[in-house]
């Protein structure tokens, strides 16, 4: 009869002891856990010779009672400290590999250690090179190796090649933004490319950043170009007015040898003169605007205040594209969907790249045609039917945009609006197919695409874009060209083939 009261007292004691023993076991594991160590070095990747370099190991992950740090240089095995922070002043230019060994001991006396390295380039001079994708990597590597032999470090930012001819500037801007260390310590910024994307990206990256501005103010900007020096120097005027550097020198790629051999950047101009390398230097004393440069001043103001170069180029190229299509219709005699629609097609090809633009255009036409075929039994009125077709086209564009994003293709906000406007081509195609038949619609689409590709080929030429940006007043000439085309009364080129027999008969009668 006494067994049950004993069980009543023993049961709470057992329940109390169960979680206590589990807690003791967990506590025991914490107390005797082996130390986990991961050595981490934080600090600059480059430093000028004669200046103090500070490397920090406090970000290392360490557990244990006693921790020690040991710093050394791999190349010379030189011991430089045993604190969490290492201080070193390089005297010679070259690559230095710093080694940090972190050791920790637990309560049982068991040691654990972790080792990591951090490479720092010590330089006598530093050059920031901004290059586009047209510059071959081998040429850049030769330049960097030649510079390093003279104690000059060339830090590189290179544009990422894309199918869209106007998207490379964005890739350079993203690499420059938020990286003040690229500009710190550099006595010059070299912009090297087939176009002026690098110079425009430089202005966009520095726009609104006071730290960047204060650094660039004492630097020399060197523009390496294969185009006319006078033409490029006109565009560089806006960069000078915005960046306010010590000077901007527009020259040829042969000048890179001089840049990597001189001791100080102030000797660069005299070195170019001695070697007979052509150059145009922009300084506060030489940059002057004339009253007839009003259009150029306006364009330069836009470029130097954060407006993307691709936006300006698209606006400047639209009159050129419209003029080309006018010539194709009035003189050649091709069939297109008016003038506005093919111009938008050409702009979309220019913004997306013609390969991506053709894919979007194909899916727009197919989705619009299939949607209209599926709605045929519904007997809807015209406008509701077109609204449904545009909805299907927009859903197709949304799907393609998602697939492109998944594949790593980026789309700017302006590109999305171009695609939405491009979707109206489905309505034109369907209307023409209804009125004149499927063959006539396909023929009009084919001629529109061929005309758009021709426009893209012309306006995508770096030399042409550079010329238009340097002399935006040339756009006004398209007005006079269109006046001349508007008074064209002769036969179109296509009509000579279409009415060949009639023309031949008339000549025989004469």
Q: What's the CA gap between 414 and 344, in Å, rounded?
A: 12
Question: Mean pLDDT highest for which of 92-96, 294-298, 422-426, 460-464?
Answer: 92-96
Q: What's the CA gap between 185 and 219, in Å, rounded?
A: 10
Phi-psi region of 220 (alpha: psi -120 to 50; beta: other; left: phi over 0): beta
- Do residues 344 and 286 share a domain? no
- Do residues 477 and 393 share a domain? yes
Percent of the chain predicted with pLDDT > 70: 83
| Confidence (pLDDT) at 152 | 93
- How many beta carbons lie within 10 A of that of residue 494, not counting itself? 14
Q: Are 123 and 93 in contact (CB under 8 A)?
A: yes
| Confidence (pLDDT) at 141 | 93
Percent of the chain predicted with pLDDT > 90: 25
Q: Are strands 152-158 and 125-131 parallel, antiparallel or unpaired?
A: parallel
- Do residues 358 and 487 share a domain? yes
**Whether the predicted pLDDT of 92 surpasses 80:** yes
Would residue 510 count as lying in a domain?
Answer: no
Where among 303, 320, 345 does a domain terminate?
Answer: 303
Q: What's the CA gap between 369 and 366, in Å, rounded?
A: 5
**Whether the predicted pLDDT of 200 surpasses 70:** yes
CATH, residue 239: 3.40.50.2300
Q: What's the CA gap between 164 and 274, in Å, rounded?
A: 41
**Whether the predicted pLDDT of 143 surpasses 50:** yes
Which residue has 């969907």 as its token pair?
337
| Confidence (pLDDT) at 361 | 83
Number of H helices, E strands in the chain: 20, 15
- Do residues 79 and 216 share a domain? no
Q: Name which residue leads in pLDDT, 143 or 11.
A: 143
Candidates 140, 139, 114, 137; CA nearest to 127 is 140
Where among 88, 123, 158 does a domain terminate?
Answer: 123
- Do residues 74 and 138 share a domain? no
- Do residues 293 and 373 share a domain? no
3-state secondary structure of 199: helix
Average pLDDT over residues 323-333: 87
Would residue 19 count as lying in a domain?
Answer: no
Q: Are strands 188-192 and 125-131 parallel, antiparallel or unpaired?
A: parallel
pLDDT band at 411 (very low <50, low <70, confident <90, very high): low
Q: Are 93 and 79 in contact (CB under 8 A)?
A: no
Would residue 373 count as lying in a domain?
Answer: yes
Question: Mean pLDDT highest for which of 41-55, 208-222, 347-361, 405-419?
Answer: 41-55
User: pLDDT tens digits, residue range 465-508?
Assistant: 888 888 888 888 999 999 998 888 777 777 777 766 666 666 65
| Confidence (pLDDT) at 28 | 44
Question: How many domains is the chain built from?
Answer: 3
Would residue 289 count as lying in a domain?
Answer: yes
- Do residues 151 and 225 share a domain? yes
| Confidence (pLDDT) at 1 | 44
Beta bridge partners, 220, equal 188, 247
Candidates 134, 194, 171, 162; CA nearest to 353 is 162
| Confidence (pLDDT) at 90 | 92
pLDDT band at 107 (very low <50, low <70, confident <90, very high): low
Report phi then psi at 361, rounded to 5. -65, -40
Would residue 379 count as lying in a domain?
Answer: yes
What stretches of 241-316 adopt beta strand conformation (E)?
247-251, 279-282
Which structural domain, as residue segments, surrounds residue 422?
309-497
User: pLDDT tens digits, residue range 213-246?
Assistant: 888 888 999 999 988 898 888 888 878 888 889 9
CATH, residue 46: 2.60.40.10
3-state secondary structure of 367: helix
């Amino acid at each position: 009869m006494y067994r049950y009261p004993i069980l009543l007292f023993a049961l709470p004691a057992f329940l109390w002891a169960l979680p206590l023993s589990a807690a003791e076991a967990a506590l025991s594991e914490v107390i005797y856990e082996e130390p986990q160590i991961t050595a981490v070095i934080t600090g600059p990747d480059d430093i000028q010779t004669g200046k103090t370099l500070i490397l920090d190991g406090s970000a290392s992950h360490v557990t244990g009672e006693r921790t020690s740090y040991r710093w050394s240089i791999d190349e010379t095995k030189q011991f430089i400290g045993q604190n969490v922070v290492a201080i070193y002043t390089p005297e010679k230019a070259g690559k230095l590999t710093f080694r940090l060994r972190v050791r920790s001991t637990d309560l049982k006396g068991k040691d654990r250690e972790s080792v990591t390295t951090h490479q720092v380039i010590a330089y006598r001079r530093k050059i920031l090179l901004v290059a586009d994708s047209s510059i071959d990597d081998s040429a850049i590597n030769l330049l960097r190796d030649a510079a390093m032999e003279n104690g000059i470090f060339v830090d590189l930012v290179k544009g990422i090649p894309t199918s869209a001819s106007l998207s490379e500037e964005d890739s350079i801007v993203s690499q420059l933004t938020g990286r003040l260390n690229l500009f710190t310590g550099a006595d010059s910024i070299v912009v090297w490319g087939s176009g002026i994307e690098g110079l425009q990206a430089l202005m966009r990256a520095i726009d609104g950043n006071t730290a960047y501005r204060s650094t660039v103010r004492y630097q020399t900007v060197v523009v390496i170009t294969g185009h006319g020096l006078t033409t490029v120097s006109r565009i560089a005027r806006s960069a000078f007015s915005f960046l306010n550097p010590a000077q901007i020198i527009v020259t040829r790629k042969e000048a890179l040898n001089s840049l990597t051999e001189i001791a100080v950047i102030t000797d660069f101009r005299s070195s170019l003169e001695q070697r007979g390398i052509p150059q145009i230097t922009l300084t506060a004393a030489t940059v002057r605007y004339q009253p007839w440069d009003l259009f150029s001043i306006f364009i330069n103001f836009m470029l130097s205040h954060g407006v993307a170069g691709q936006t300006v180029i698209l606006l400047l190229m639209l009159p050129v594209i419209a003029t080309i299509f006018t010539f194709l219709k009035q003189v050649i005699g091709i069939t297109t969907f008016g003038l506005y629609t093919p111009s938008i097609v050409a702009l979309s090809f220019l913004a997306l790249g013609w390969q991506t633009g053709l894919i979007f255009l194909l899916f727009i036409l197919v989705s619009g045609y299939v949607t209209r075929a599926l709605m045929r039994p519904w007997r809807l009125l015209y406008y509701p039917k077109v609204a449904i077709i545009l909805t299907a086209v927009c859903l197709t564009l949304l799907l393609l945009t998602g697939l492109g994003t998944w594949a790593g293709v980026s789309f700017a906000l302006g590109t999305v609006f171009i695609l939405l406007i491009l979707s109206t081509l489905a309505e034109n195609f369907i209307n023409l197919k209804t009125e004149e038949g499927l063959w006539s619609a396909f023929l009009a689409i084919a001629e529109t695409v061929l005309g758009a590709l021709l426009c893209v080929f012309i306006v995508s030429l770096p030399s042409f874009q550079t010329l238009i940006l340097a002399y935006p007043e040339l756009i006004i000439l398209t007005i006079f060209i269109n006046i001349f085309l508007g008074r064209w009364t002769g036969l179109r080129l296509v009509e000579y083939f279409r009415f060949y027999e009639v023309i031949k008969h008339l000549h025989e009668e004469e």
